[in-house]
Structure 1
Amino acid sequence: MRFLTLILLLIMALAPSPSFGNSKTGRKTAGRSTASSDLPKFAAAYTIESLAPNLHTYQISVTVQNAEKKDEIDFTLPAWRPGRYQIQNYAANVQEFKAVSGAAVLYAMKVDKQTWRVKTDGKAEITAIYKYYAGAQLDAGNSYVGADEMYFNGSNLFVYTDETRFKPVSLDIVCPDDWKIATQLERLGKTNRFTAETYDDLIDAPTVASPTLIEFSTVVRGAKIRMVFQNGERALKGFQFNEKNITRDIAKIVETQFDLYKEVPFKEYIFLYHITPYRFSHGVEHKNSTSIVIGGEAEMDMRYDGFLSVTSHEFYHVWNIKRIIPKEFLPYNYTREAYTPMLYVSEGFTSYYGDLSLVRSKVWSPSRYLAELGDNITAMQNTYGRKIQPLALSSFDAWLSGYGTGRANSTVSFYSKGELVGLLLDIEIRKRTDNNASLDDVMRALNTEFAQQHKGFTASDFESLVEKIGGGSFKSFFEKYVYGTDELPFDTSLELLGLAVKKSLARTPFFGASTTVENNFPVVSAVVPESPAALAGFDKGDMLIALNGLSLMNESLNKVLERFKPDERVKISYLRGGKLTETTVRLSGAYGYSVTKKLNATEAQQKMCESWLNAKWDDI
């Protein structure tokens, strides 16, 4: 009997506590339980915990006040998130939604794709409880839970009510005691309870909890700049990619952008980085933080420039889109699209200033920046959609085709073309004002006249500011390059900076079809209008078998094309509908662009270029 008792005691000691979920280490705690006494202070009290890490499932609850004793309360989950202008339908990940008040179970019914209506029975406090699947491949804008990490964007998984959305809220994070938590939310003492002024502030704070977070920080003009890495231990031992270099270069970027806007709008800012084993790059902006997912882990030394570029881009969003906001977004309506023609400013100009900040801060050399500019021009001039879709429409239609959806070769990116239009507008303002004003002044005016006054801006507001600062009408500029599809005048604009745009034949001749690989052969996925492929009649679904008798099995189409020259005729064998066909195609030239200094630049051109890049002409 004594032996049996010992065995039972041993089993009880080894059995996992129910509060652990499936966590391997540590006791799970939240700051303290969500009590009724907290609710007068917090209109909504949220709790999130990892319910089943191996099944990638969160359990979430939110308790809200029903001070007005309404008969029904709607709990709504956003259909999209700020920073990604596309309907995401996060409610598809919600499971087992239910509502209670104390021990009483309340009737809850889903009334549309993202809303659950709860019958309150006159209760003063209502709690919604549900599970949320978070197991998709990690990117900066979604949520994930696994054995050693909780990462979430509140817009994905926290429901709200109209009655409590603009009131103070709290969040309890239930995780093992030895886990660290990184978020821009305000922490209550040493607990795992965090607070936000409103629901909108809550979901604008990406959060990661993990036992393996690495953090270092610096101070720039009195503001604490935190850099937090998940899965970064090996990557941070690089020759370039290491704590010393990252801290130094991010401090320079931050200082440069503070200089541009002449303000420090926060006391603390957090860069949240996930380092992935595979090649990847994605960032999402938030008011006082950013989340960036980047990899591969073994390549971070080689990808250091890309790391700095996405970092600078996301930090510029501190102003542009997080404070300088198109009027159409205010207040955010998370249930439907918010159409605006201004994403080319909010995103495209951010890309422009992201990389420009790198050269102005001396993190990049002028030659490195000009090389990047040449690559951007090359990409744009090889995008057929630039001939079809105006930039403003690209912004407006982001919800339909801004992220690779829609008909191929019919769209242009408001990021990439917006960046180049930002460059040309900057140069045009400098030209008209004898370099006494620039796009910098326009962006500062947007900040002081709209952001700091808590107002959104319209297209008309922006264009009026450009004309006011630029000293005249810019109607023709906007009609051609923003609302029209005229070719961008890179040559004449950059010449004003003493720079030349050189056009040269690319190594690979132009065929004009993008392909995927199926059964070890390239298969046409899209055909560029007016291209050799289009003129020869190629169509989506054609399987390319051989070029001039050279098999394409397990071969890269572009690599094989490198063996030929522009204007050369090649015979292409392909399968369509199970029938082998052969046709002759006349290849054309593909072109690349580079930007270099002009040897005969005038003194005025040199000074304008120096002012633009914050660099001496001899160093450019």
Structure 2
Amino acid sequence: MKSAVLSIISYSSLLTTLGWTSSALADIDYQINLKSPEHHLAQVNVTFPQHSGQQLKVNLPLWRTGKYQVLPLADGVRRFHATDEQGNSLPWKRSASGEWTVALSKPTAVTVSYQLYANELGQRVRHIDASHAFLDASGVFMYSPEFRQEPVKVTLDVPSDWRSYSGMAAGDKPHSFVAANYDVLVDSPIETGLSQHRAFKADGKQYELVVWGEGNYDLEQIEEDLGKLSATAVAIWDDYPFERYVYMVHATSGARGATEHLNSTIIQLPRFNFRERQDYLRFISTASHEFIHTWNVKAYRPEGLVPYDYQQENMTELLWMAEGSTSYFQNQLLLRAGIMTPKEFMEDLAKRVNANQHKPGREIQSVAEASAGQWVSTGGDYAINHSVNIYSEGYLTSLALDFSLLQDTAQEVSYRDVHRSLYREHKVPKGYNVTDVKRILKNLSGKDYESWWQSHVNAPLVLDFDKLLSQAGLKTAYGKDSKEQAFAGMTLTSGSLVLQSVERGGPAWQAGIVAGDQLLAINGLKVSAEGYGKRLADFKAGDELRVTLFHDDKLIERRVTLASEQSGKLQIKPKESVSRAQKAFFKAWLGIDWPFDAQGNYKS
């Protein structure tokens, strides 16, 4: 098998270096007919080179990169058919989930064809309608393990007014693309259809912005900010693993989310969730997250993910570094680029700290265990109370590690240097493991991080945030108007009286109330979903409430003794007295000057 390192090389430079033309890159020929897209259907044909074995196995992946979860992708396939090079039908059978075995009586090239149903927009795998098609190869194009590393060509047959875009190099015909192998194809989605397009440069690299769907976005603002963002990667890495990168954006009727790819990203947001500042920050932070993944996950990643095994789970205890560290860096790049203000950065950090303090699972599960368990993570009430998240707690683990490195090296080394070293030393197909990370930490800091790793990664992460942030001259606090208020420890499902979660150890938990119970009344008076918060404000800590609920369709009553919590939002503010050393630490951490004036307000 040829080295998977091909999958991280810039494809246009690869073609030039190897002297390949697009016609030479047709060892595996994919054709997809999208001429009648209104029913979410397409016809796919794949031709494999001559094979001399008694059978040829072809597969559709069981998962897609960027989502560590097994998906029922093969359920979108019907009318499977196989023929030899003379067009004669070949016998076949389903041999496993996502696998078809074609029987061969003599050496021959094999063409397989199948109908594809594509109506999974929110999964960011495949979606076809009258206006466009989004094609992630993991849910669209079958491959054979025998030919996984052979060059491929994809040709689309689309309506005449459609335009097609991908991070892959263009082929020799309109609506065609070429790639070095299936690993490149599977990580280079195609957006084809009716869309808006922009092209720009940043730090010598080519970028494209492709937006499908109408919405309240400002295309010029997005292009400008993506240009600023794209030029900040040098704050962490020495160079780029691509020559051209495509930002794909879907303005949707509700689907949201994003996925990183080798040379591009796909970002989805409801069509009217772009204009308000908080909505826009959510969008541009997501773009930053996925852009960072081009290095962290695509160019270098844990060895459990190298090479990808598309037919089963790919296990690693380092997903918190792959995802959580990416979350940690995303707003730092926006801050350096001037897209996000220091105030907005601190507000986001405060939300993360507050969410961690209201997640009892932080006392039970480590980020290493959460990483290994990500493939079966389902979220919900149990996760809040007994688990942590590779993104949110991975962010905070990265923060703690960054501060430890800055402290141990008098601000000479930061967590950015760790990722710079991983990129230099562990480019795919090499991969990295826990021992490699510890070695890099020791080489950079001169300190053995074994005990730190045991207490922060292999054990549940317990942080004293005020002690930690004090190194940068910061503290956690509530506003001047904050006061103690009653706390029941139960959260309603949005717009409903059904309990979404009950905080472990809180008042409702101790009273025997569980997620899924339906709240009816407090002290004999009916409660509405909209009025629950105001009703709770009528009481104070120590008051005992008679809470009436439906539990498994049975009417029950529980007595809840209220606790207390602070009202208002948690904030991160400057300490009353900040030293020059703390300000220097702050700049080494975030790369910007101290943003507060003498009164502790943000400078204009």
The two structures share one fold, judged by TM-score above 0.5: yes
- SS in structure 2 of the partner of residue 84 of structure 1: coil
Q: What are the residue-to-residue correspondences of 1:263-282 with 2, within 5 Å?
A: 263-278=239-254, 281-282=256-257
How many angstroms apart in 2 are the aligned matches of 1:176 and 1:577?
53
Question: What amino acid sits opposite 1:423 in the alignment?
Answer: L
Distance across 2 between alignment mates of 1:87 and 1:508: 43
Match of 1:159 in 2: 142
1:108 to 52, 73, 92: 92
Aligned equivalent of 1:171, options 126, 136, 154? 154
Aligned partner of 1:312: which letter? S
Structure 2 counterpart of 1:28: none
Structure 1 residue 538, shift from structure 2 partner? 1.4
In the alignment, which residue of structure 2 is the partner of 1:497?
Answer: 472
Match for 1:60 among 44, 50, 53?
44
2:513 alignment partner AA: F
- The 5 Å alignment of 1:288-367 reads 288-297=263-272, 299-302=274-277, 303-367=279-343
Are residues 1:203 and 2:178 paired? no
DSSP-derived class of the 2:239 partner: coil
Q: Is the 8 A contact 1:78 1:89 kept in 2?
A: no
Q: Distance in 1 between matches of 2:151 and 2:328?
A: 36
Partner amino acid, structure 1, of 2:176: R
Match of 2:207 in 1: 225
1:434 aligns with 2:434: no
Separation in structure 1 between the aligned mates of residue 548 and residue 41 of structure 2, nearest angstrom: 50
SS of aligned partner of 1:431: helix
Q: 2:175 aligns with which of 166, 188, 192?
A: 192
Give the distance between the partners of 2:542 and 2:275, measured in 1 at CA: 40
3-state SS of paired residue (1:250)? helix
For 2:143 and 2:519, locate their aligned partners in 1 and report how far apart those are by CA, in whole Å: 52
- What is the letter of the counterpart of residue 264 of structure 1? Y
CA contact under 8 A between 2:520 and 2:549: conserved in structure 1? yes
CA pair 263-408 structure 1, distance change in 2 beyond 3 A: closer
1:386 aligns with 2:362: yes
Deviation at 1:526, TM superposition (A): 4.1
> Hey, what's the Cα distance between the residues in 2 that align with 1:149 and 1:559?
46
- Matched residue, 1:456: 431
Counterpart Cα distance in 1 of 2:565 and 2:40: 46
Does 2:60 match 1:84?
no
Q: Hey, what's the Cα distance between the residues in 2 that align with 1:546 and 1:74?
A: 60
Q: How does 1:35-74 map to 2 (within 5 A)?
A: 41-50=25-34, 52-67=36-51, 69-74=52-57
Residue among 372, 382, 386 paired with 1:396: 372
> Separation in 2 of the partners of 1:373 and 1:390?
20
CA contact (8 A) 1:51 1:59 kept: no
Partner of 1:11: none
1:479 partner amino acid: Q
Of 562-571 and 609-618, more deviation after overlay is shown by: 562-571
- Report the alpha carbon displacement of residue 396 of structure 1 after superposing the two structures with TM: 0.6
* Counterpart-to-counterpart distance in 1, 2:436 and 2:171: 41
Q: Secondary structure at the match of 2:548?
A: strand
Aligned residue in 2 for 1:370: 346
Contact 2:492–2:529 under 8 Å retained in 1: no
| Aligned-partner Cα distance in 2 for 1:379–1:601 | 27
Give the letter for the 1:469 counterpart.
L
Q: How far apart are residue 443 of structure 1 and its match?
A: 0.8
Higher alpha-carbon deviation: 188-197 or 302-311 = 188-197
Q: Could you tell me how far 1:401 is from its partner in structure 2?
A: 1.2
Give, in whole Å, the separation in 2 of the partners of 1:154 and 1:351.
26
User: Contact between 1:401 and 1:411, CA under 8 Å: does it hold in 2?
Assistant: no
Aligned pairs (5 A) from 1:486-565: 486-502=461-477, 509-516=486-493, 522-553=497-528, 555=530, 557-565=532-540
Deviation string, structure 1 residues 540-570 (Cα, Å, up to 9, x no partner) = 4432111233322454544543443333322
| Two-structure CA RMSD over aligned residues (Å) | 2.3
Identify unmatched segments of 5+ residues in structure 2.
1-21, 597-601
Change (3 A) 1:590 1:116: farther
Query: Separation in 2 of the partners of 1:431 and 1:313?
Result: 26
Contact 1:49 1:60 in 2 (8 A): yes
Pairing partner for 1:606 from 561, 583, 590: 583
What is the aligned partner in structure 1 of residue 101 from structure 2?
117
Shift of 1:379: 0.7
Distance 1:501 1:163, change over 3 A: same
In the alignment, which residue of structure 2 is the partner of 1:235?
216
State the AA in 2 paired with 1:194.
F
CA distance in 2 between counterparts of 1:121 and 1:329 reads: 36
Report the Cα distance in structure 1 between the residues aligned to 2:484 and 2:161, rounded to whole angstroms.
55
Asked if residue 127 in structure 1 is aligned to residue 108 in structure 2, the reply is no
- Shift in Å, 1:601: 1.0
Q: Secondary structure at the match of 2:351?
A: helix
**Which of 434, 444, 447 is matched with 2:420 structurally?**
444
Residues 173 and 499 of structure 1: is their aligned pair in 2 closer, same or farther, counting only changes over 3 Å?
Answer: same
Q: What amino acid sits opposite 2:431 in the alignment?
A: G
Counterpart AA for 1:308: I
1:51–1:404 CA distance, 2 compared to 1 (3 A):
farther
Q: Of 216, 237, 258, which aligns to 2:234? A: 258
Q: 1:616 aligns with which of 593, 596, 601?
A: 593
Asked if structure 2 preserves the Cα contact closer than 8 Å seen for 1:53 and 1:147, the reply is: yes
Query: What is the CA-CA distance between 1:515 and the residue it aligns to?
Result: 3.8
Give the % identical residues.
28
Q: 2 CA distance for matches of 1:206 and 1:605? A: 45
User: Aligned partner of 2:340: which letter?
Assistant: W
The match for 2:541 is 566
Check whether the contact 1:317–1:350 (CA below 8 A) recurs between aligned residues. Answer: yes
1:409 is displaced (CA, Å) by: 2.1
State which drifts further: 321-330 or 561-570: 561-570
- Contact 2:35-2:159 within 8 A present in 1 as well: no
Cα distance in 1 between the residues matched to 2:202 and 2:210: 17
CA distance in 2, matches of 1:506, 1:42: 68
Whichever residue aligns with residue 590 of structure 2, its letter is L
Query: Relative to 1, partners in 2 of residues 1:41 and 1:524: Cα closer, same or farther, differing over 3 Å?
Result: closer
Indicate conservation of the 8 Å contact 1:506/1:589, yes or no.
no
Match of 1:248 in 2: 224
Gaps of 5+ in 1: 1-37, 237-241
Report the equivalent of 1:479. Answer: 454
Structure 1 contact 337–399 (Cα < 8 Å) conserved: yes
Q: Which amino acid aligns with 1:510?
A: F
Cα deviation code 1:8-54 (max 9, x no counterpart) = xxxxxxxxxxxxxxxxxxxxxxxxxxxxxx99752211111237533
- Matched letter for residue 560 of structure 2: V
Shift of the 244–571 alpha-carbon distance from structure 1 to 2, 3 Å rule, reads: same
Once the 2 structures are TM-superposed, how far is the Cα of residue 393 of structure 1 from its aligned partner? 0.4
Q: By how many angstroms is 1:599 displaced?
A: 2.8
TM-score of the two chains, using structure 2 as the length reference: 0.89
- Whether the aligned pair in 1 keeps the contact of 2:137 and 2:189 (CA below 8 Å) is yes
Q: Which shifted more, 550-559 or 302-311?
A: 550-559
Indicate if the aligned counterparts of 1:51 and 1:57 stay in contact, CA closer than 8 A.
no
1:98, 1:128 within 8 Å by CA — same for their partners in 2?
Answer: yes
Per the TM alignment, residue 202 of structure 1 is displaced from its structure 2 partner at its CA by: 0.6
Structure 2 SS opposite 1:566: coil
Change (3 A) 1:391 1:618: closer
| 1:527 shift after superposition | 3.1
Shift of 1:299: 4.7
Is this contact kept in 2: 1:220–1:254, CA < 8 A? yes
Q: Distance in 2 between matches of 1:366 and 1:261?
A: 23
Partner of 1:26: none
Give SS of 1:582's match. Answer: strand
* Runs of 4 or more above 6 Å deviation: 504-508
Deviation string 1:567-614 (CA, Å, 9 cap, x unpaired) is 332221122354433332112224553211113111111111022222
